[in-house]
Structure 1
Amino acid sequence: MTTTETSTRIPVRVLAADPFLRVGLESALGECPEFTFDRDGTGVQVLAADEIDDAVLCAIRAARERKSTVLLVVGKVDASTAVRAIEAGACGVLRREQACAQTLISAVRAASTGHGTMSPDLLSGLFETAGRLSSTPAAPSLDARERDVLRMVADGHETAEIASALAYSTRTVTSIVHDITHRLRLRNRAHAVAFALRQGLI
């Protein structure tokens, strides 16, 4: 393998209490030659759990402190608990039964570039429950351009698709999202969408 090939591979670490589940996830991810398994957890960390409890949230925060990007694969989850995971630092949340090899590989690729992934029913649930979730006093505002971009991010569109639809350059879209996350002190795109929904900004 050449130096270039090595440098472009994506380090991945799978964590699961169930060893059979861990082996299954590693087997699915092993189908992608772009990935290399990383025991130090400095790349994308795929964290598998039965449900999102305090221990899982602590594990997500610990991984984020080590500069890992966390993709959560969970058995039992709803929109409100998915929000908690995102606020703890998860880049994406997938239902375990929906985490087939293709979906899992796509989610890890997205996570490695800072893009979040969420199971479609959970994303829909975020919109349905947004009005019932608690809000923070004196919530910040978003301008029209920022709201348009975040709505498309929430709908699952990639940067290039958003740029084409809104007649912006991809650099402009990236800059808008970066400005939002930096100004509001959010961790990533998924956190920005969850925050905006909870505050009723989009």
Structure 2
Amino acid sequence: MRNPVRVSVIALDPVLEAGTLSALDGFAEVRPVVGGQRPDVTVVVVDRVAEPVLDLLRRTRAAEHRPEVVLVATELGPVEALHAIATGARGLLRRRETSGPRLAHAVLAAAGGDCAVPPDLLDGLLEQRAEGADPGVADSWGAAGLSERERAVLRLVADGHETSAIADELCYSVRTVTTVLHNVTQRFRLKNRAHAVAYVLRAGLL
């Protein structure tokens, strides 16, 4: 059994910070930091993803122990999501959708090297093209494309699901899901699942 994931919370409102920690109470896999412990994951709770928040994400990720970051925001659209991921956020959640289990799931996914992003937000980003995108990235993305099966698997990866859970959700075999992820990472020359999700979010957009 692995050690619990150590979590810290950053919020401007002390009551909100305490409430976020309270939401994680009862999950044996997650434990708030105490004393001088260094967190594995830091949850940042904000209203809007403005430049000061992006600076905070950069500073948090640049700390010596380099914790993963899960961002919980009241307002979170495609542009804000892209900027947050580009500055190091591993997980994204909207405050209105953030329950204790969902937050714990995002924290554990981040600690395990996966991205957790609202599926509807990822779905929208998969379809978008921003003006002024990097031509090399945009062209390779458009030429290769994604099948509906690949999109479905990546949406669930982005939401933090493990391979077996994705297989159950989509009624595929574990081997099929593994093959789909392997094909995507090979086609776009990516390192792993987290890199695949991050690439999907950035391709043609940044």
Q: Give the TM-score of the pair, scaled to structure 1.
A: 0.76
* 2:129 paired residue among 131, 147, 155: 131
**Aligned partner letter, 1:12:** V
Q: What CA RMSD, in Å, does the superposition of the two structures yield over aligned residues?
A: 3.4
Residue 116 of structure 1 aligns to a residue in which SS?
coil
Q: Does 1:101 align with 2:108?
A: no
Deviation of 1:175 (Å): 9.4
Paired with 1:98 and 1:90, the residues of 2 have a C-alpha distance of: 18
The 5 Å alignment of 1:16-35 reads 16-35=11-30
Unaligned runs of 5+ in 1: none
Count of residues in Structure 1 that have an aligned counterpart in Structure 2: 190
Deviation of 1:120 (Å): 3.0
Q: Cα gap change, 1:64/1:101 in structure 2, threshold over 3 Å: closer, same or farther? A: same
Q: Cα gap change, 1:180/1:24 in structure 2, threshold over 3 Å: closer, same or farther? A: farther
Q: Does 1:15 align with 2:10?
A: yes
Does the aligned pair in 1 maintain the 2:126–2:201 contact within 8 Å?
no
**Aligned partner letter, 1:97:** R
Does the aligned pair in 2 maintain the 1:116–1:189 contact within 8 Å?
no
The farther-off stretch of 189-198 and 108-117 is 189-198
Paired with 1:71 and 1:121, the residues of 2 have a C-alpha distance of: 18
Q: Cα gap change, 1:37/1:189 in structure 2, threshold over 3 Å: closer, same or farther? A: farther
Q: Does 1:193 align with 2:200?
A: yes
- Indicate the residue corresponding to 2:52 in structure 1: 55
Paired with 2:173 and 2:120, the residues of 1 have a C-alpha distance of: 24
Q: Give the TM-score of the pair, scaled to structure 2.
A: 0.75
- Indicate the residue corresponding to 1:69 in structure 2: 68
